[in-house]
Structure 1
Amino acid sequence: MDLPRSFTIRESGHRVLNPFTIEKLALLGQAISPSPGTRVLDLACGKGELLCTWARDHGVTGTGVDISTVFLDAARARAVELGVADRVGFVHGDASGHVSDDPVGIAACVGATWIGSGVPGTVGLLRRSLAPGGMMLIGEPYWRREPEDEATAKACGLSRADDLLSLPELLTRFGDLGCDVVEMVLADQDSWDRYAAAQWLNIRRWLDANPEDELADELRAELTTGPVRHARYQREYVGWGVFVLMDR
């Protein structure tokens, strides 16, 4: 059970595995100001940057769960680097079925709502681990600019236009699920650039080192077309943010 190699190649140089910069992640922590000792469950935690930096900056404790052994190795190394390995731990597993043994103050899924087959299922999954009065963090894309046709939606990496909602529609969806939206921090176009453009450099460096690998043709094609597609579609049409929810 692991992620395909192409994922780890693209994001080999990233600490945050979504269009959120390290600065935005820190801003989110400052915005909600978790109390020292708050327990956090981070599902599909990637390289653990949220848990590790918030343990350092806010004194939280907690657990991250991810399917990628490569990302978890990076997360554990980051915890040691920041001196928080005694406060955070990481579990290799399918986050879609993970429920904390004890209720947590913050339950997060930042950019991987496919683990619950979408926002409603992910909110339901996080609720199963959440202590009364706790917070849920949901990272989710939305239409920054609604696509003119299905071809544009596909160029943005979506199967169809109704795969995403507009920002007002997404906030309404959270309310319909019985949640108050109590904070949000949104990525901007520069955040998207830092995420996408860093992938191009990761891919190029990998291609230079592995020209005969079985993935080389696929990743070469991606690098050839990716920058223009990003500039024309992704950064123009797709927004992304982390939304802080509390049950009503």
Structure 2
Amino acid sequence: MDKNELVSITQGGLAIMNPTTPAKVLAAGKAAGLREGSRVVEVGCGNGTILDLWGREYGISGLGIEAREDACTRAEEAIRSSGLSERIAVLCMDARDYAPDEPFDCAAAIGASHIHGGFSATLDALLGLVHDEGTIVIGDRCWRSDRVPPEFAREWPDVLTGYEILSLAREAGLDVAAVVRSSADDWDRYESGIWQAVLSWLGDHPDHPDRDFMTDYLHRIQDEYFGYGQEQMGWAMYVLVPGFW
């Protein structure tokens, strides 16, 4: 099954396609200094919920970039329904090919580090989208400690510890203004939403040629979550600002 199709099936029905909440998204936006007139670009904007929240709460303008056409349609509808279409646009394309006409005040990638190949590459890409005083918001997986069993760590070679993320930010000349972490309930709600979507798809597609693949996928992600994800894997939004040193 195509990767984009898998994401649409498993997460397309989630308002926020990450283990977080609207309140935490707003907290990250506040820490990033978003206000009326702030220009924001979100790489991998999914269903547009985060830009919609920031647009309604803080009055931002800007752009969401998303490669999946069905997600772009949902994002455009969410933004239109909130009356934000004149301020926030959705560009349906590979974010790696995007070059801004002018720099933004804030660049975000919430659960979208895979687009550029990990946290470090995403940070570099987002820095190329903002001006010198711009802020960065990255939502990503992280290990809960630096003592993750090697057999688990090898399964996720791109996942970093919080200290490694702090070090990368400082190397880029940034300070960490805030960390907005997911709770156990956030994780359970997010993972459960994915399981329910897969089960619903299986019920609706009894003869689909990818049925065995989807069943295996469901069992694999559940094995990961119950086996070590609950205990070892974290997720957080990191708000990064220009350093004063």
TM-score normalised per structure 1: 0.89
Shift of 1:242: 1.0
Could you report, residue by residue, the CA deviation over 1:123-176 in whole angstroms, capped at 9, with x for unpaired residues? 2221222123111111121111432222x235xx52x4xx32221222122112
Separation in 2 of the partners of 1:58 and 1:4? 31
Separation in 2 of the partners of 1:116 and 1:229? 24
**AA at the equivalent of 2:88:** V
Residue 208 of structure 2 is matched in structure 1 by 213
Separation in 1 of the partners of 2:34 and 2:160? 29
Contact 2:40 2:62 in 1 (8 A): yes
Aligned pairs (5 A) from 1:137-152: 137-145=137-145, 146-150=147-151, 152=152
Separation in 2 of the partners of 1:93 and 1:231? 35
Separation in 2 of the partners of 1:190 and 1:5? 27
Shift of 1:61: 0.6
Number of residue pairs matched by the alignment: 241
Residue 4 of structure 1 is matched in structure 2 by 4
**Identical columns (%):** 28
Contact 1:120 1:177 in 2 (8 A): no
Residue 42 of structure 1 is matched in structure 2 by 42
Residue 106 of structure 1 is matched in structure 2 by 106
Aligned pairs (5 A) from 1:25-40: 25-40=25-40
Shift of 1:114: 2.9
Shift of 1:63: 0.4
Could you report, residue by residue, the CA deviation over 1:57-116 in whole angstroms, capped at 9, with x for unpaired residues? 110011011111111111011112222122111111111232221111111112222333
Superposition CA RMSD, Å: 1.9
Q: Of 186, 192, 195, which residue of structure 2 is paired with 1:197?
A: 192
- The answer for unaligned runs of 5 or more in structure 2 is none
Aligned pairs (5 A) from 1:152-171: 152-153=152-153, 157-158=155-156, 160=157, 163-171=158-166
**AA at the equivalent of 2:14:** H
- The answer for unaligned runs of 5 or more in structure 1 is none
**AA at the equivalent of 2:100:** S
Q: Of 213, 216, 235, which residue of structure 2 is paired with 1:240?
A: 235
Closer, same or farther: CA 27–247 of 1 in aligned 2, 3 Å? closer
Contact 1:99 1:125 in 2 (8 A): no
TM-score normalised per structure 2: 0.90
Shift of 1:225: 4.5
The alignment partner of 1:182 has SS state of: strand
Residue 95 of structure 2 is matched in structure 1 by 95
